[in-house]
A and B are shown apart, each in its own frame.
Chain A
Amino acid sequence: MTLGADGAIFAISIGAGLVGALAGVGGGILIVPALTLLFGIDIRLAIGASIVSVIATSSGAAAAYVRDRMTDMRVGMFLELATTTGAVVGALLAAVVAPAFLYVLLGLVLLGSAVMQVLRLGEEMPPEVEPSGLAARLRLASSYPDARLGREVPYAARRVPLGFVLMWGAGVVSGLLGIGSGALKVVAMDGAMRLPMKVSSATSNFMIGVTAAASAGIYLGRGDVDPTLVAPVALGVLAGAMLGARLLPRMANRHVRWVFLPVLVVIGIQTLLRGFGVGS
């Protein structure tokens, strides 16, 4: 790799980290196509680098999100129980289920969620509700300081069982396909549990590092993680994620949705195409 290519990869990675931190997804959607299409890097190594970029996005952004009370740590930990157990089941199923079918299914789910996102485009805040008995027992109701509105915004998770099941599905998908499924996590928290968009994004960011760390060992063991390629990616993504984490608290929830929607559409199309054998 030349110094110029390293510089270009670093710059693209800053963009990936920034978008990832705002949308609550890892930087994989930008990193993998950029590395393979622009730099001709082997898809295996590109995916290895993207797994590392997910962890870098997550930790880099969450350091600020946790401190600024954007991440709901209880929601995150409770749902990580679903994603990690799901991921184990997914890894066990990997030998039995055809990935092509799963990619198509996941692509359709993501694009369907994108339609739901369009319907909520103008919405700044989900309607306020009293926490259900389950949400209260699990303490899935809290508040976050909204720098843009200049006030503390209370929220309570709705449809907790549905959110848990969706997260479990996101975990199964991660285990089966080896992807972070950050987009599904945001969809589950925003769409099903009706948490404020910024809380959904910041909490998804908090979670995706754990999901990716669980599968990173597999990629490392297979030799898919090349430290010389990962160096400019990780440094760029970290810088971008830290920048994004400074922006998110000051953004309106509906503007965060404007960032998330195109990301969701691109991931949905990529996933669908992969199911039909196009691309990676």
Chain B
Amino acid sequence: MTGDARRDRLTPDQFRAVVSAVLRTGVVTAAALTTVGFAMSLLVGWEGSLLGATTATSAPTDFSQLLSGLLAMRPISFAQAGLVVLLATPVLRVATSVVGFWLEGDRLYVAITLAVLAILLGSIFLVH
């Protein structure tokens, strides 16, 4: 492998472990939120609320309504939160890779990964 060993603060194995952990954490968190939402829906239905709140549910792109839905213990809001975590996981994985390649001392791949991250964020946020 190339790269100056003294400056490399992250071995390839550690890099992989971190990226793998980011993916697993995202997936497990999303699955947990979705499962909790599903279990709650068996009690009060998807549109209900464990606390008996009655306001309308929101689209998952609206974070403040998502938060209030979670506080009202709405099953659908838990499923939406799981969805948001799931969709954010690949983006987080790319962001983690930027830092990983930097710590590995591979500037070419820092540039490549940064470009991918910029295009990805642009395509997610500019379409709205």
Q: In whole Å, how far is A50's beta carbon from the nearest beta carbon of chain B? A: 13
Q: How many residues of A contact B (CB 8 A)?
A: 48
Asked whether A216 is an interface residue with its Cβ less than 8 Å from the other chain, the reply is yes
Known contacts A84-B116, A234-B30: A225-B83 contact under CB 8 Å:
yes
Q: Give the complex CA separation of A74 and B97 in angstroms.
A: 10
Contact A228 B46 (CB under 8 A): yes
Q: Is the CB of A139 within 8 A of B87?
A: no
- Residue B56 at the chain A interface, CB threshold 8 Å: no
Looking at chain A's contact residues, is the secondary structure mostly helix, strand, loop, or mixed?
helix
Interface set of B (CB-CB < 8 Å, partner A): 2, 15-17, 19-20, 23-24, 26-27, 30-31, 34-35, 37-38, 41-42, 46, 59-61, 76, 79-80, 82-83, 86-91, 93-94, 97, 101, 106, 108-109, 112-113, 115-116, 119-120, 122-125, 127-128
> Chain B interface mostly helix, strand, loop or mixed?
helix
Q: From B76, which residue of chain A is reached at the shortest CB distance? A: A227
Please name the residue on chain B nearest to A138 by beta carbon: B108
What are 12 A-to-B residue pairs whose CB atoms are below 8 Å? A52-B83, A52-B86, A59-B89, A63-B23, A84-B116, A88-B119, A214-B120, A218-B127, A221-B61, A221-B128, A223-B59, A228-B46
**Which among B34, B86, B101 has the highest number of chain A CB atoms within 10 Å?**
B86
Number of residue pairs A-B, CB distance < 8 angstroms: 145
Among A34-42, A127-135, A205-213, the stretch in contact with B = A205-213
Which residues of A approach B to under 8 Å, CB–CB?
Answer: 3, 6, 52, 55-56, 58-60, 62-64, 66-67, 69, 73-74, 77-78, 80-81, 84-85, 87-88, 91, 138-139, 209-210, 212-218, 220-221, 223, 225, 227-228, 230-232, 234-235, 238
